[in-house]
Homo-oligomer: A and B are copies of this chain.
């Protein structure tokens, strides 16, 4: 490793090839937190990700609804980890793990030997066995998908504005599948886009009359939240003009619309916010998957049945004190990453063993729209304007670096003052079926 004189003294930038090597797969909230905790320690760290950026997934729905730009919610991994000379970043995908030989094979053809391996590969959208719905009902888990959703929503209004528009009703119907936080946030944000940002944009159509429908298969939305908060959220959504339809399990989705609970809803835009599944880390590790296909880990985040392998975040099944798997939340991954980074540092540099990981609930939030959010702190519930303010502050603070914090806060402030959406550009061609 060459010494880069511009970044500090010789001593500080020294990296010993004999230091233990920790390979972290995935630079999400968990992987990145673990890497940072190991920055500057006498260990070598390699962070592998298939993207060159860390993605702030909780704000991705704002890219999908034209409020933020992709670069606002994506931070170059090298920029975050650049200051630590003992951390190396590799752009690539892991294609195989040999836990016996302690080696990781990469899509780039490289093979890396590790002393400790951390699998933090996260989750991906799941269509519950209906992968044919993926093309018609995009999910919102990546920048590419967010950009596709943005183009679809904006193009639907454009097509409805045409004199020749065949089915204005279906073009102006937006169905979001899934009443969890993602679905609620998407539906609320589309409603605000249509009712505030686009009102004076069109001549033939009135965007504020667009039908936004939130479809939930279960008896109520936000099943993971307490009753009072879910009830408030549903009322706030209705006030925004979102139709909330519960007990409507999806039966089929086509380019013409969606059938749920026996009812066909004509809609040109159907979005998927219903389910996630862990990435294939269990298979890569050659182990039996745990609850929900996740990687079963012990309370110190070591993978059950393996040596020197750890897992955390959405891909790992880590049980809480009551024996239930911790939810797939950014705060869980981040706390686990911080814990594991510190634990590995203590073990490898001082030979100290750490106490088991314990999750501290910092509050579970969902945002419905401007001035309307819910926060569940367990014993204490919060809703409405204070919850929205708190949500905004928390998310600004969570953003990984200072530059982003400033930029994103200014964008928010601007939108707050003007109801504008600056990123209203169609950059992905939308091809609809003939006859549309």
Contact = CB atoms under 8 A, between A and B. Distances in A.
Contacts of A70: 69, 425, 427
Interface stretch (A2-10, A183-191, A316-324, A336-344): A2-10
Nearest to A81: B201
A162 B72 contact: no
B72 A427 contact: no
Interface bin, chain A: 35 or more
Interface in A186-220: 198-204, 206
Interface stretch (A126-134, A358-366, A410-418): A410-418
A78 interface: yes
B76 A425 contact: yes
Nearest to A76: B424
A243 interface: no
A351 interface: no
A164 interface: yes
Contacts of A110: 162-164
B201 A78 contact: yes
Contact of A158 (B6, B91, B147, B200): B91
A71 to B, nearest CB: 4
A200 B85 CA distance: 9
B69 A72 contact: yes
Nearest to A108: B162
A144 interface: yes
Residue among A162, A200, A410 facing the most chain B CB atoms (10 A cut-off): A200
Interface in A98-116: 108-110
Contacts of A74: 425
Contact of A407 (B83, B88, B109, B422): B422
Residue among A69, A144, A203, A423 facing the most chain B CB atoms (10 A cut-off): A203
Given A200-B7, A201-B82, A204-B1, A51 B426 contact: yes
Contacts of A206: 2, 4
Contact of A69 (B4, B69, B88, B91): B69
A85 B414 contact: no
A389 interface: no
Given A144-B427, A410-B407, A427-B143, A202 B422 contact: no
A328 B4 CA distance: 45
Interface string A8-46: 000000000000000000000000000000000000000
Contacts of A92: 162
Contacts of A407: 410-411, 414, 422
A306 interface: no
A420 interface: yes
A21 to B, nearest CB: 13
Please provide the 4 A-B residue pairs with the shortest distance between their CB atoms, ordered closest to farther.
Answer: A78-B201, A71-B423, A69-B69, A82-B200
17 contacts: A1-B203, A2-B203, A6-B200, A53-B424, A53-B425, A69-B71, A70-B427, A71-B424, A71-B425, A76-B425, A82-B201, A90-B161, A91-B161, A108-B162, A147-B427, A403-B422, A404-B422
